[in-house]
Structures are given as C-alpha cells and as structure tokens.
Copies of this chain bind each other. A is one copy, B any other.
C-alpha cells in the first residue's frame, strides 16, 4: 500500500478542483463535516464544511488561478496525514508563492481533505 502516494493524489485533487473552479470536485475532495478547517491567505480561519464550501463558491467567481506546486512532502500517521507544499501562482498573481499545509483523513471512501492553511511568502520590496 502506498499511503504517501495516495495522500499526494488527494492533495492533487484539491488543486485540480481549484484550477477548474469546480465546486462539485472540491466538495468530493473534502470531508464534508464540522471538523474541517480552512485558512486562505490573509483570511480568518473558517470552520466546518458550510463555511469552507461558501469560501470556494466565492473564490470561484473571481479570476481563475493556476498553480505550479513545488516541494510537496507528505507524512502519514495512521489514518491522518499532512502535506507541506508551496503553491507558486501563475496569471494575474504571477510571482506570488503561498506556503501551504494541507490535512487529510482516511475514511471508508479513501483520503479526504480536512484542513488547508495557506499564507503568502513575503519578499522584500526591493527584489
């Protein structure tokens, strides 16, 4: 069993859903429960699938986002896992890197996302 590979595949589903602005796919990628949490860059932490789903519905109304993901590492502890990854944005936000921590829990239907926390990596203004 390749747990790390399965977790990285679950992580990829999050970004594929985001790039496609596909709320159904995002909903399938997440555990739709009260215990999920999501913190977009600069936002307060959202708690529970209702708040998290609403945030994606709103974000998907805006300009599309494309990511180049770098330095993904997955760690599995039993039925829980985390992925640390850098999101390098393309398009209107090209040059921005978002340091990210994604959480996953394994249930009957496989790995589902339960957490996302992204924050912009600051670069000195003169670079």
CB-defined contacts of A100 to chain B, threshold 8 Å: 45
- Is the beta-carbon distance between B37 and A101 smaller than 8 angstroms? yes
- Contact residue among B35, B39, B75, B97 (Cβ-Cβ distance under 8 Å from A35): B75
CB-defined contacts of A45 to chain B, threshold 8 Å: 71, 84, 86, 99-101
Please give me the residue from chain B that is nearest to A37 by CB atom: B84
* A102–chain B nearest beta-carbon distance, Å: 10
CB-defined contacts of A32 to chain B, threshold 8 Å: none
Please give me the residue from chain B that is nearest to A120 by CB atom: B42
* A12–chain B nearest beta-carbon distance, Å: 18
- Is the beta-carbon distance between A43 and B121 smaller than 8 angstroms? yes
* A52–chain B nearest beta-carbon distance, Å: 12
Interface mask (A33-76 → B, CB under 8 Å = 1, otherwise 0): 00101010111110100000000000000000000000101010
- 9 additional contacts, CB 8 Å, given A77-B78, A103-B103? A35-B75, A39-B119, A42-B119, A44-B121, A45-B84, A47-B84, A78-B78, A78-B79, A101-B101
